[in-house]
C-alpha cells in the first residue's frame, strides 16, 4: 500500500529556523585579513597596480611617477606598433566594437578567419583555432581531447589553466616531478597501454623562466604511445629560428601534436589559440565547450593579432635584441649577488628569489618607488615556499634602460638588506 505524503509532517512549521544563513564569503576571511595587514603596513598593494598612462611598450605612469615596465609579458613590444594599431582602428570602423555571439553562431567575422590563416602561416600547420584567451585555449583543448577512461599526464608545476583544463574534463590525471624526464618515463610505464593519453608540457615556465627538456620528454611520450600538447605561451615570438617556441628550437616539430599559445604575450593583444597538423583537428570546433559557449573576440582584437603575427615572422632583429637584454640583465643581477631562478638566461623571464613574503614585498615596493615595475609572485602561483620578483623583458627595452634597471635593483637590494 502506498502511503500518502502529509505535507504538514514533511515540512517544519517555520522553515526559516531550519538553519541560519551561511555566508559563502566567509572562506575568504584569511585572505582579506592578510591583504589588510599588508595595506596597514603602508605598502602599495602589489596586485592592484593601476597604470594611469602607458607611453610605450616599456614606460608608463604609475602613481604619478614615470616608471619602466619590466613585468608586462610584452616580449616583442608589439603593443605600439603603428601597423598593428592601424589594423585595429580599421576593423573598428568596418565591423564595430564586438561580435555579439559565439564562433558557432554569428561570432565569426572575416578577421577571425584572417588571424587563423596568419597562425597557420606562422607555425607551418594545416589547422588553427582561436579562443577568447590563452586560458580558454588550455581549458578547451585539454578537457576536450582527453575524456573518461583516458589520461592526462602533466608537469607538477604546470600553469593554472592546464590544471583547470584537467579538472573540467573527465580524464584521469597523473603528475610527474617538474622537468623530470625520468619521472615522466616511470609514471607512463605504470599506466595501462590501451587508454588514450595526452602529455601536457610547457616550453617556458612562467614563474622561474626555466625551460622544459622538450626533446627528451616528447621522445619518452612517443615511446609510450602518447599524444603531446605543448604550451608555448611564453616562448612564441623569440624562441627558435622562426619564433615558434621552445619545441621548434629543440627540434620537436614533427612529434608535438598540438601547440597552444596566447596573443597576450609576444603578439601584444588578447586571445588564445591552438595549432595542429592532425587531419581531424577541425572536429575540436564541434565538441569544445569553451569554444562553443563563449563570445568571440572583437574584430579589432583579431585584426591587430593577425597583423602582429605576420610581422613577427620577420622580427629577427627584435628577437636578437630581446636575447641581448636577457643576457645583460641576468648577468648583471647575478654579479650583484641576487639569487635567480635559473643559472643562465633561459628565456625573457628572469626571477629574483627572495627569502619570504616580507622581503619580497619590501623589495618590490622599493623598486616601484624608484621607478621600476616588476611582478611580485607568491604561492600558489609559485612553487611552495617560493617568493620572487619576476622580470619580463621586452625587445624594446633600450641598453640604457637595462642599465638603469640594474642600478635600481642594486639600490633597492641594499636598502632592504638583500644585498650587503
User: In the block, which residue shows the cell 583543448?
Assistant: 141
Q: How far apart are CA 373 and CA 252, in angstroms?
A: 35
Residues present in the chain in total: 420
Contacts of 261 (CB under 8 A, 6+ apart): 134, 137, 231, 232, 233, 236, 245, 272, 273, 274, 275
Look up residue 3 and give its three cell numbers.
502511503
Contacts of 79 (CB under 8 A, 6+ apart): 54, 57, 268, 269
Which residues are the active-site residues? 206, 234, 265
Asked if residues 347 and 73 have their Cβ atoms less than 8 Å apart, the reply is no
Residue 17 per-residue DSSP state:
G
Q: How far apart are CA 69 and CA 58, in angstroms?
A: 5
Q: Are strands 172-176 and 151-155 parallel, antiparallel or unpaired?
A: parallel
User: What is the per-residue DSSP string for 240-280?
Assistant: STTS--HHHHTT-TTT--EEEEESTTTT-S--EEEEE--TT
Query: Which contiguous run of DSSP H or E holds residue 387?
Result: strand 387-392
User: If DSSP states are collapsed to H, E and C, what string results for 86-110?
Assistant: HHHHHHHHHHCCCCCCECCCCCCCH
Amino acid at each position: 500500500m502506498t502511503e500518502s505524503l502529509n505535507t504538514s509532517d514533511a515540512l517544519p512549521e517555520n522553515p526559516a529556523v531550519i538553519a541560519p544563513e551561511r555566508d559563502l564569503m566567509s572562506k575568504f576571511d584569511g585572505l582579506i585579513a592578510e591583504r589588510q595587514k599588508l595595506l596597514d603596513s603602508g605598502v602599495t598593494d602589489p596586485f592592484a597596480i593601476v597604470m594611469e598612462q602607458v607611453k610605450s611598450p616599456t614606460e608608463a605612469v604609475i602613481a604619478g611617477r614615470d616608471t619602466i615596465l619590466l613585468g608586462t609579458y610584452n616580449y616583442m613590444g608589439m603593443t605600439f606598433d603603428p601597423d598593428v594599431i592601424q589594423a585595429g582602428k580599421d576593423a573598428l570602423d568596418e565591423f564595430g566594437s564586438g561580435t555579439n555571439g559565439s564562433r558557432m553562431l554569428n561570432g565569426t567575422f572575416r578577421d577571425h578567419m584572417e588571424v587563423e590563416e596568419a597562425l597557420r602561416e606562422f607555425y607551418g600547420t594545416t589547422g588553427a583555432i582561436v579562443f577568447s584567451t590563452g586560458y580558454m585555449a588550455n581549458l578547451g583543448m585539454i578537457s576536450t581531447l582527453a575524456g573518461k577512461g583516458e589520461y592526462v599526464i602533466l608537469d607538477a608545476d604546470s600553469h593554472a589553466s592546464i590544471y583547470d583544463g584537467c579538472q573540467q574534463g573527465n580524464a584521469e590525471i597523473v603528475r610527474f616531478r617538474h622537468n623530470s624526464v625520468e619521472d615522466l618515463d616511470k609514471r607512463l610505464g605504470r599506466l595501462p597501454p590501451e587508454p588514450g593519453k595526452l602529455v601536457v608540457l610547457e616550453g617556458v615556465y612562467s614563474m622561474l623562466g626555466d625551460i622544459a627538456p622538450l626533446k627528451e620528454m616528447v621522445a619518452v611520450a612517443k615511446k609510450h604511445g602518447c599524444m603531446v600538447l605543448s604550451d608555448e605561451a611564453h616562448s612564441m615570438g623569440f624562441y627558435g629560428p622562426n619564433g615558434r617556441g621552445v619545441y621548434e628550437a629543440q627540434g620537436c616539430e614533427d612529434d608535438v601534436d598540438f601547440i597552444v599559445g596566447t596573443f597576450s604575450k609576444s603578439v601584444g593583444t588578447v586571445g588564445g589559440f591552438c595549432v595542429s597538423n592532425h587531419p581531424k583537428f577541425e572536429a575540436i570546433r564541434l565538441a569544445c565547450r569553451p569554444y562553443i559557449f563563449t563570445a568571440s573576440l572583437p574584430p579589432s582584437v583579431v585584426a591587430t593579432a593577425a597583423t602582429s603575427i605576420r610581422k613577427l615572422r620577420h622580427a629577427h632583429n627584435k628577437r636578437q635584441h630581446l636575447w641581448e637584454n636577457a643576457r645583460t640583465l641576468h648577468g648583471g643581477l647575478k654579479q650583484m649577488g641576487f639569487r635567480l631562478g635559473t643559472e643562465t638566461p633561459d628565456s625573457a623571464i628572469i626571477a629574483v628569489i627572495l627569502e619570504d613574503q616580507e622581503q619580497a614585498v619590501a623589495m618590490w615596493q622599493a623598486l616601484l618607488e624608484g621607478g621600476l615595475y616588476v611582478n611580485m609572485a607568491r604561492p600558489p602561483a609559485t612553487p611552495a615556499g617560493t617568493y620572487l620578483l619576476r622580470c619580463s623583458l621586452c625587445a624594446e627595452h633600450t641598453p640604457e634602460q637595462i642599465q638603469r634597471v640594474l642600478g635600481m635593483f642594486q639600490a633597492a637590494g641594499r636598502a632592504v638588506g638583500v644585498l650587503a
